[in-house]
Amino acid sequence: MVKGFSESEVKKDKLIKEFKKEKKGLAGFLKGKKITYTLPGKKQINIFGSVVLVLNIILVLLVILYLNNQVFHDFIFNVGR
The string of pLDDT tens digits covering residues 22-76 is 666 777 777 777 778 888 899 999 999 999 999 999 999 999 999 999 999 999 9
Q: How far is CA 19 from CA 15, 29, 57, in A?
A: 7, 20, 56
Supply the pTM of this predicted model: 0.52
